[in-house]
Amino acid sequence: MKIFITLLFFFSNTLFAGDIAIEAVKKHPKIIEFLSTKPISKYWVDFHKMQLGGQCGFTGCQWRKLVSLIVTSKGSNASSMTIIALVSGNNANVSNEVAIEFVELNRITAQELSIN
């Protein structure tokens, strides 16, 4: 029973952290400013999240999520733009302790990637 409660706590923290991660990105001043120029009548706006890991211990849980914002034009030859943010926090239910870092993806060749 103890293991079940621990697993339930961990998974509920992970789920809430994902919701907090997306909400934190939506409330970021730069995102609000960016979306203010993208009327819903002309653009689709989608948020997605992906868990990057985390850990739980005696002091609580730490989590990291990758949140993407995809904005797609509703016109012909629809173009899209993606903004990616690394979002992390210490507690799954405390949204004011969330850190957001906007990131840029870089392409690397197979030779540059050396996994031992």
With a CB cutoff of 8 Å and minimum separation 6, the contacts of 39 are: none
pLDDT digits (tens, 9 = 90+) for 23-70: 999 999 999 999 999 999 999 999 999 999 888 777 777 889 999 999
Q: Is 62 exposed, middle or buried (CB count within 10 Å of its CB: 0-12, 13-18, 19+)?
A: middle
The pairing of beta strand 80-89 with beta strand 43-57:
unpaired
pLDDT at 5: 42
Q: Quick one: tokens of 7? A: 């697993």
The Cβ of residue 63 has, within 10 Å, a number of other Cβ atoms equal to: 24
Q: Is a pLDDT exceeding 50 seen at residue 114?
A: yes
pLDDT at 8: 41
Share of the chain above pLDDT 70, in %: 77
With a CB cutoff of 8 Å and minimum separation 6, the contacts of 82 are: 68, 69, 70, 71
pLDDT at 18: 55
Q: Give the start-to-end residue ranges of the domains of the chain.
A: 2-103
pLDDT at 109: 81
pLDDT at 28: 94
Least confident span in 3-7, 18-22, 69-73:
3-7
